[in-house]
Structure 1
């Protein structure tokens, strides 16, 4: 601290304190370090290993706010640590009174232990922040989507492709859009200074008559649960209970899909978990999930 800290040294310190188990990775024998490897951090943050190396060595000195945000999520930084990372990168930290896209460390550790379930983590503006492999297997992998398209409000009320889901989804609860609008109205009351939230509401309001109608009705509440049927191309229809949980002390929401134990839908979820949602004949499907040959 006497010599001054830079972003590279801070990243190394934060990386060294994390166990692979904290981020849902297996601990293999003969690790030379107890913390995360650079390769593991790069994978978690969606960055190249070379870029992470250059950041830590001080050769990449102007990361974008989006890069710092993804690193903060991957490293499970607290809000003060996240703000410190922004300042070390020469950036202004996110302002108070705006929607946070930081996934709390406790939620990330919980998510690492819920890896077998389809779980997505959303911000208060319903932007998808992170998800389990089982979520990608059931819904379709959103990793290839631009960040602005990973938003449930745009997916429900927008035009064209559903965005968050690669396959058609039928909602048994016809009140889900109204609940989503009500939840969004409540978020706007909590974050009136968030320009991104205001822009999202104005954008969807321009393009969706249904959204405008629901806004005029003026109901206030939170989107908490639903029953959905996903038309999966590999296993057919999968009907799940979809529950929305809010982490205490945080505005992030965990959306969990589940089915009754022993039911055909639970068996389909387990098949998708094992295969990653790929057909049984796909060469990349794990051998344990492929049909036996004579």
Structure 2
């Protein structure tokens, strides 16, 4: 792909120093999460991804387990949608990838651990602020039943996924609301909603939130949009400009950086 080390590190949520140590063979035991992040950043196809796992001395994701692989086509689509805040989630609602505009609107998730990037855990265990840096106020109560319904469907599709089973067991024991919705067999589709992001730089930003699914894989795209020409659009543009996000949604390259081999 011709990515600079700094660009690869940013896309994968890793430090530049760690990427350099991987290249030089000084970091010899990368975790499955690290390999998955690098595979997404490099837009590897499934066979290439599995080879990367084996090079790291790890077993590739097995059938019956939730995939954290973001297809190359979705990665390319994200690049074209860079001006919009878009987050990519796996079947268990773990944040896998995001656009720079998502980071400036919702807070940069790159410093968060893998477990902290799970939306369901954030909503039921840590509150709506668990996954983002500041409050997000929904306009209805449809999200929580829809998330529980999604996890129930995921458990049917991936009954042997240990992480998913552990997540359900954890939330049933720590969240009375989750346990109630789970035991009631809560169902509910994701619907377009209006949300208010309480951003520390610009105050309230009112956005429409849509959840899109990708045919052929259990990937969800959460897209935030604002009405063209509105005060909210001006606020979002201000955030993009002041946080160094280019007009096409990308982060500007630093001068003098060199490409990875």
- TM-score past 0.5 threshold: yes
Q: Is the 8 A contact 1:134 1:276 kept in 2?
A: no
**What is residue 160 of structure 2 aligned with on the other side?**
193
What are the equivalent positions in structure 2 for 1:1-294 lying under 5 Å apart? 18=1, 35-159=2-126, 162-276=129-243
Deviations 1:191-216 (A, max 9, x none): 11111011111111111111111112
**TM-score, normalised relative to structure 1:** 0.77
* Deviations 1:6-40 (CA, angstroms, capped at 9, x unpaired): xxxxxxxxxxxx1xxxxxxxxxxxxxxxx223343
Residue deviations 1:142-175 (CA, integer Å, cap 9, x gap): 2222111111101111146722121111110212
**How far has the Cα of 1:123 moved from its partner?**
0.7
Query: How many residues align structurally?
Result: 244
- Using the alignment, how far apart are the partners of 1:159 and 1:57 within structure 2? 39
Deviation at 1:249, TM superposition (A): 1.2
Any idea what SS the aligned residue of 2:228 has?
A: coil
C-alpha displacement at 1:225, in angstroms?
2.9
User: Residues 217 and 53 of structure 1: is their aligned pair in 2 closer, same or farther, counting only changes over 3 Å?
Assistant: same
- Is this contact kept in 2: 1:73–1:102, CA < 8 A? yes
Cα distance in 2 between the residues matched to 1:221 and 1:79 = 32
Structure 1 window deviating more from structure 2 (159-168 vs 62-71): it is 159-168
Equivalents in 2 of 1:224, 1:161: separation in Å?
18
The structure whose RCO (Cα within 8 Å, separation 6+) is larger is 2
Superposed CA RMSD:
1.9
- The Cα shift of 1:50 comes to 4.5
Structure 1 unmatched ranges of 5 or more: 1-17, 19-34, 278-294
Between the aligned partners of 2:69 and 2:186, the Cα distance in structure 1 is 28
Change in CA separation of 1:222 and 1:183 when aligned onto 2, cut-off 3 Å: farther
- Consecutive unaligned residues of structure 2, counting only runs of 5 or more, are 245-261
Tell me by how many angstroms 1:60 deviates.
3.9
Aligned partners of 2:199, 2:232: CA distance in 1, in Å? Answer: 12
Shift of 1:188: 1.1
- Do the aligned residues in 1 keep the contact of 2:145 with 2:187 (CA within 8 Å)? no
- Could you say what secondary structure the match of 2:54 adopts? helix
TM-score of the superposed pair, with normalisation by structure 2: 0.86
Larger Rg computed on CA atoms: 1
Compared CA separation, residues 270 and 199, structure 1 to 2 (3 A):
same
Between the aligned partners of 2:100 and 2:196, the Cα distance in structure 1 is 19
Q: 1:61 to 1:140 in 2, by over 3 A?
A: closer
